[in-house]
Amino acid sequence: MTTRQREPQLRDSGFLAFLRKQRCITCGLAAPVEAAHIRMGKPSIGKQPTGMQEKPHDFWAVPLCAWCHRNAPDSQHNIGEAKFWAIARIDPFTRAIQLYAEYGGTGGRPKARRAPKPRKPKAQRAKMQSRPFPKTKRKFGQ
Protein backbone atom coordinates (compact mmCIF):
# COMPACT_ATOMS: atom_id res chain seq x y z
CA MET A 1 0.00 0.00 0.00
CA THR A 2 1.40 3.36 -0.96
CA THR A 3 0.61 6.61 0.74
CA ARG A 4 0.16 9.87 -1.07
CA GLN A 5 1.17 13.35 -0.07
CA ARG A 6 -1.78 15.36 1.19
CA GLU A 7 -2.55 18.30 -1.12
CA PRO A 8 -3.64 21.69 0.19
CA GLN A 9 -7.38 22.19 -0.31
CA LEU A 10 -8.24 24.53 -3.18
CA ARG A 11 -10.84 27.04 -1.99
CA ASP A 12 -13.34 28.91 -4.17
CA SER A 13 -15.86 30.72 -1.98
CA GLY A 14 -17.51 32.32 -5.03
CA PHE A 15 -18.38 28.88 -6.40
CA LEU A 16 -19.81 27.77 -3.05
CA ALA A 17 -21.98 30.91 -2.98
CA PHE A 18 -23.07 30.13 -6.56
CA LEU A 19 -24.03 26.57 -5.53
CA ARG A 20 -26.11 27.80 -2.59
CA LYS A 21 -28.34 29.72 -5.04
CA GLN A 22 -29.05 26.63 -7.20
CA ARG A 23 -31.77 24.00 -6.82
CA CYS A 24 -31.09 20.69 -5.05
CA ILE A 25 -29.90 18.25 -7.72
CA THR A 26 -31.81 15.31 -6.22
CA CYS A 27 -35.24 16.69 -5.25
CA GLY A 28 -35.28 20.05 -7.06
CA LEU A 29 -35.98 22.13 -3.94
CA ALA A 30 -35.25 25.82 -4.56
CA ALA A 31 -32.50 27.74 -2.79
CA PRO A 32 -31.18 27.98 -0.14
CA VAL A 33 -29.27 24.74 -0.45
CA GLU A 34 -25.95 23.50 0.90
CA ALA A 35 -22.71 22.88 -0.96
CA ALA A 36 -22.14 19.14 -0.55
CA HIS A 37 -18.51 18.16 -1.13
CA ILE A 38 -17.87 14.86 -2.92
CA ARG A 39 -15.41 12.86 -0.82
CA MET A 40 -15.40 9.60 -2.77
CA GLY A 41 -13.00 9.14 -5.64
CA LYS A 42 -13.16 8.42 -9.35
CA PRO A 43 -9.60 7.90 -10.64
CA SER A 44 -10.72 7.79 -14.31
CA ILE A 45 -11.33 11.56 -14.17
CA GLY A 46 -8.53 12.38 -11.73
CA LYS A 47 -10.62 12.65 -8.54
CA GLN A 48 -8.79 10.99 -5.65
CA PRO A 49 -10.79 9.95 -2.57
CA THR A 50 -10.23 12.22 0.38
CA GLY A 51 -8.98 10.71 3.60
CA MET A 52 -9.71 11.31 7.23
CA GLN A 53 -9.42 14.96 8.29
CA GLU A 54 -9.09 15.99 4.64
CA LYS A 55 -11.67 18.01 2.74
CA PRO A 56 -12.01 17.83 -1.05
CA HIS A 57 -11.39 20.85 -3.26
CA ASP A 58 -14.34 23.23 -3.47
CA PHE A 59 -14.87 22.56 -7.18
CA TRP A 60 -15.89 18.99 -6.20
CA ALA A 61 -19.17 20.14 -4.66
CA VAL A 62 -22.81 19.95 -5.74
CA PRO A 63 -25.98 21.64 -4.41
CA LEU A 64 -28.11 19.57 -2.02
CA CYS A 65 -30.90 20.75 0.25
CA ALA A 66 -30.44 20.16 3.97
CA TRP A 67 -32.95 17.28 3.88
CA CYS A 68 -31.11 15.37 1.13
CA HIS A 69 -27.67 16.29 2.46
CA ARG A 70 -27.95 15.64 6.22
CA ASN A 71 -31.44 15.35 7.71
CA ALA A 72 -33.36 12.59 5.89
CA PRO A 73 -33.04 8.98 7.05
CA ASP A 74 -31.68 8.17 3.57
CA SER A 75 -29.59 11.36 3.24
CA GLN A 76 -26.08 11.50 1.83
CA HIS A 77 -24.51 11.68 5.30
CA ASN A 78 -26.67 8.92 6.77
CA ILE A 79 -26.37 6.18 4.15
CA GLY A 80 -23.04 7.09 2.60
CA GLU A 81 -22.11 8.81 -0.61
CA ALA A 82 -21.83 5.85 -2.99
CA LYS A 83 -25.20 4.39 -1.97
CA PHE A 84 -26.90 7.83 -1.97
CA TRP A 85 -25.78 8.66 -5.52
CA ALA A 86 -26.61 5.14 -6.76
CA ILE A 87 -30.18 5.42 -5.41
CA ALA A 88 -30.54 8.93 -6.90
CA ARG A 89 -29.10 7.69 -10.24
CA ILE A 90 -26.95 10.82 -10.52
CA ASP A 91 -23.25 11.03 -11.36
CA PRO A 92 -22.12 13.77 -8.92
CA PHE A 93 -18.72 14.11 -10.62
CA THR A 94 -20.26 15.05 -13.97
CA ARG A 95 -22.67 17.46 -12.29
CA ALA A 96 -19.85 19.10 -10.31
CA ILE A 97 -17.78 19.55 -13.48
CA GLN A 98 -20.79 21.00 -15.35
CA LEU A 99 -21.66 23.40 -12.53
CA TYR A 100 -18.07 24.59 -12.16
CA ALA A 101 -17.87 25.22 -15.92
CA GLU A 102 -21.19 27.11 -15.75
CA TYR A 103 -19.81 29.19 -12.88
CA GLY A 104 -16.63 29.92 -14.86
CA GLY A 105 -14.19 29.08 -12.09
CA THR A 106 -10.43 28.89 -12.45
CA GLY A 107 -9.68 26.17 -9.92
CA GLY A 108 -9.54 28.20 -6.70
CA ARG A 109 -6.68 29.12 -4.40
CA PRO A 110 -4.85 26.94 -1.87
CA LYS A 111 -6.20 27.27 1.64
CA ALA A 112 -3.95 29.64 3.54
CA ARG A 113 -2.14 28.09 6.46
CA ARG A 114 -1.32 30.17 9.48
CA ALA A 115 2.34 30.46 10.27
CA PRO A 116 3.22 29.31 13.78
CA LYS A 117 3.87 32.08 16.27
CA PRO A 118 7.56 32.38 17.11
CA ARG A 119 8.48 31.56 20.71
CA LYS A 120 9.84 34.25 22.94
CA PRO A 121 13.36 33.84 24.28
CA LYS A 122 13.43 31.88 27.55
CA ALA A 123 14.27 34.96 29.60
CA GLN A 124 11.17 36.78 28.31
CA ARG A 125 8.66 33.99 28.89
CA ALA A 126 6.27 34.60 31.76
CA LYS A 127 6.38 32.08 34.55
CA MET A 128 3.17 30.25 35.26
CA GLN A 129 1.49 31.53 38.40
CA SER A 130 0.67 28.88 40.94
CA ARG A 131 -2.83 28.77 42.36
CA PRO A 132 -3.18 29.13 46.12
CA PHE A 133 -4.95 26.34 47.94
CA PRO A 134 -8.35 27.19 49.43
CA LYS A 135 -8.07 28.68 52.91
CA THR A 136 -10.98 26.71 54.32
CA LYS A 137 -11.47 23.01 53.96
CA ARG A 138 -14.83 21.88 52.71
CA LYS A 139 -16.40 18.63 53.75
CA PHE A 140 -17.87 16.33 51.15
CA GLY A 141 -21.61 16.75 50.66
CA GLN A 142 -21.75 20.45 51.59
Task: Report the CATH fold assignment for 10-106.
Answer: Herpes Virus-1 (3.30.40)
Per domain, the residue ranges of the chain are 10-106
Residue 88 has pLDDT above 60, yes or no: yes
Most confident range, picked from 3-7, 11-15, 49-53, 60-64: 60-64
Q: What band does 31 get if pLDDT is binned at 50, 70 and 90?
A: confident
The pLDDT mean for the chain works out to 83
Cβ atoms of 39 and 70 within 8 Å: the answer is: no
- What whole-number distance in Å separates Cα of residue 4 and Cα of residue 43? 14
Strand partners, 110: 10
First vs last C-alpha separation in the chain: 60
In this prediction the pTM is 0.70
Measure CA 59 to chain center.
Answer: 12
